[in-house]
Chains A and B, each alone.
Chain A
Amino acid sequence: MNLTASNISKKYNRSKGGANWFYAVKSIDLCIEAGKLTAVYGRSGSGKTTLLNLLGGLLQPSEGKVLCGETDIYAMPDKELSAFRNQHIGIVPQGAAALGNLTVLENVLLPSLIGGRSSDEQEKRAEALLQSFGIASLRDVMPRELSGGEQRRMAIARALMNRPEILLCDEPTGDLDDENTRVVLRLLRDEAAKGTAVLLFTHEADARNYADIVMKMDGGSLEKI
């Protein structure tokens, strides 16, 4: 399944009540293709997180449409959109995002629980994901005890839990050392090879060696390089 954005913008008002509009994302057309790893470079403040939220169905665009396959995701009410996101879109948020009171395994299981599926089969899948990401021994550990690289791997495992067709990653290599960066990029490369449409926001130069398509984001606009 492809994820297509047509002419999407997000504008914010800088002065409350005034008319000082600025575009965090400006008229972007983008297609993230199934089976490909698309990497987007961009400085801090260039609008990456905003674009990811727009693409992930988390933030209503001011203008434009986001199509997931044939589905206009913002035409759905919150309930349906949430269920759709749960099943079809995996999101790796910026920073270390985890529910602090749940173990690593429970964190990875969370999407299936929220989707209303909990079974031994799901638990096996979660364990298999931890295994393939090399953090199986950490299944009963609390997230705050993990290193940066381990946390990022857990976050990707969680995003993949429900076998989404689309995977959106917000600086997943943000504060990792070279070794861990390579591990994470390889994981994403493998995922794309399995047919998932992967979008990677980063400022890691190394990423272009793994990506099929490379783009650059600046001031809310996107250009191909």
Chain B
Amino acid sequence: MFFRMIKGALFRQKSKMIMIAVTIALGSSLATAMLNIMLDVGDKVNQELKAYGANITVVPKENSVLDSLYDLDDGGESVAHLKEEDLGKIKTIFWGFNILDFTPFVNTVVTLGDGSTAKLTGTWFNHHLALNTGEELDAGIHSLRSWWEIKNGQWLDEQKESIPANGALIGSALAARLGVETGDTLEVNTAKGSQALQIAGVYDAGGDEDEQLFTLLPVAQMLADCQGLIDSIEVSALTTPDNELARKAATKGPGALSPADYETWYCTAYVSSICYQIQEAIPDSVASAVRQVAESEGTILDKTRLLMILITILSLFGSALGISNLVTASVMERSNEIGLLKAIGARDSRISGIVLTEIMLTAIVGGVAGYFMGYGFAQIIGHTVFASAIEMKPMVIPLVAVLIIIVTLAGSIPAIRMLLRLRPAEVLHGR
């Protein structure tokens, strides 16, 4: 009987109930789309930030000055060098625990068989380090370049006995230009010597590195004639986001800080204090933070997120207002029946319960429809704005459900209460 009372309202006020469902569907679709995009794009950028793990580069002091003066970062041989034997010291700094990974680089330009040149970099791939602290670590570009796609062949594995001493990886663009494949041997020459490289794999880095060769450190050191020396180090470290203190230290130098501030700064994992400590550990080096791009991407992401949250809140607020109006109209239209229920002794809460049940049933229909509309919106926005499909997160479903319930209740309860408490006469006059 209770259900037939509700059914009556649902079917006799069809157009109003459809309007309520549509209002809720709109709110729910926007919330679904925004939440999914927010979570998915957030994940994507986070993955990228993690993948671009190298957030500090270490170069010799003299080069750093020259580089910044003449913008000499052309991949050619460096004038000054760091010592290979100092590499392990990076893990001995105060924030050594936060150093996740690092790798040395030796760069040289090699002449190929057809007379053209290419940049060759010697590095660690997954170099096993046993530090004097007792800690063990696999360091190298395998994890620092986790986004590289090995198109054929495989990564060089330094921990395998069978690794060829002349093994190398070649960038996809260079491989295509030279017509080289995995398993081929490639002859490279410098003024200092020549070497046959055995191609173990072709990688796709999606950038300048596709024009390059990567080989083991000793091979590059031999070709560049710099045994025991390296050109630069890439370091991946967990850092604390910068605050006022960190910015002050970064712009004015740690010397400008008061002793207490200095202490705090030194003992916090700011990227600037980690750089400072690396410089302390490695003689004649300059460590500096990179990936400002990623940081600004992060800021933009935060702002976009805020914008999406605002849009979601506003649209839900709009839905609540719309529902409130529709509920008021629907209750007024049925003032006869509601007045009658009150007259025969139905409590306000019971009448509210009946009206709310109707609206909740309508809201469920609208909410489900809205979820699927939102799915469509998310994909459209994903493809036009972010150029990728948006993965739908299951956790959005309960989230949207809760939001819709809150919005529906917030929209209807005040309207129903107002009608029952403040204007009973209007409801009960039977006009």
Whether a CB of chain B sits under 8 angstroms from the CB of A148 is: no
A111 near B345: Cβ-Cβ < 8 Å: yes
Cβ 8 A contact of A114, one of B12, B345, B425, B429 = B345
A87 near B345: Cβ-Cβ < 8 Å: yes
A101 near B339: Cβ-Cβ < 8 Å: no
Q: In the complex, which residues 335-364 of chain B have their Cβ closer than 8 Å to any Cβ of chain A?
A: 336-337, 339-350
Whether a CB of chain B sits under 8 angstroms from the CB of A100 is: yes
Contact segment of B1-9, B67-75, B220-228, B299-307: B1-9
Q: Mark B346-389, 1 if CB is under 8 A from A, else 0.
A: 11111000000000000000000000000000000000000000
Whether a CB of chain A sits under 8 angstroms from the CB of B153 is: no
Q: In the complex, which residues 104-163 of chain A have their Cβ closer than 8 Å to any Cβ of chain B?
A: 106, 110-111, 113-115, 158-159
Contact segment of A75-83, A194-202, A204-212: A75-83
A78 near B345: Cβ-Cβ < 8 Å: no
B340 near A98: Cβ-Cβ < 8 Å: yes
In the assembled complex, the Cα of A79 lies from the Cα of B352 at a distance in Å of: 13
Nearest CB on B from A190, distance (A): 21
B425 near A86: Cβ-Cβ < 8 Å: no
Cβ 8 A contact of B12, one of A49, A59, A100 = A100
User: Knowing that A78-B349, A99-B8, A101-B12 are A-B contacts, what are 16 other residue pairs whose CB atoms are under 8 Å apart, sorted by A's residue number?
Assistant: A50-B425, A53-B428, A58-B343, A58-B424, A79-B349, A82-B345, A82-B346, A82-B348, A85-B345, A87-B345, A93-B430, A94-B429, A97-B336, A100-B12, A114-B346, A170-B430
Cβ 8 A contact of A100, one of B1, B8, B339, B424 = B8
Residues on A lying within 8 angstroms of B by beta carbon are 49-50, 53, 56, 58-59, 78-79, 82-87, 91, 93-102, 106, 110-111, 113-115, 158-159, 170
In the assembled complex, the Cα of A179 lies from the Cα of B347 at a distance in Å of: 37
Q: How large is the interface on B (under 10, 10 to 19, 20 to 34, 35 or more residues)?
A: 20 to 34
Contacts of A85 in B (CB 8 A): 343-345
B347 near A78: Cβ-Cβ < 8 Å: yes
Contacts A97-B339, A101-B5 given; indicate if A111 touches B424 (C-beta within 8 A): no
Interface pairs A-B: 8 shortest CB-CB: A86-B345, A101-B8, A91-B343, A95-B430, A97-B340, A82-B347, A94-B430, A111-B344
Contacts of B342 in A (CB 8 A): 58, 82
The interface residues of chain B, by DSSP majority, are classed as helix
For B7, give the chain A residue with the smallest CB separation.
A101
A102 near B345: Cβ-Cβ < 8 Å: no
For B343, give the chain A residue with the smallest CB separation.
A91
Q: Could you say which of B5, B337, B345, B348 has the most chain A C-beta atoms within 10 Å of its C-beta? A: B345
Nearest CB on B from A117, distance (A): 12
Contacts of A97 in B (CB 8 A): 336-337, 339-340, 343, 430
In the assembled complex, the Cα of A158 lies from the Cα of B1 at a distance in Å of: 16
Contacts of B5 in A (CB 8 A): 99, 101-102
Question: What are 17 A-B pairs at a CB distance below 8 A?
Answer: A49-B430, A58-B343, A78-B348, A79-B347, A82-B346, A85-B344, A86-B344, A93-B428, A93-B430, A98-B340, A99-B8, A100-B8, A100-B12, A111-B345, A113-B1, A114-B345, A158-B344
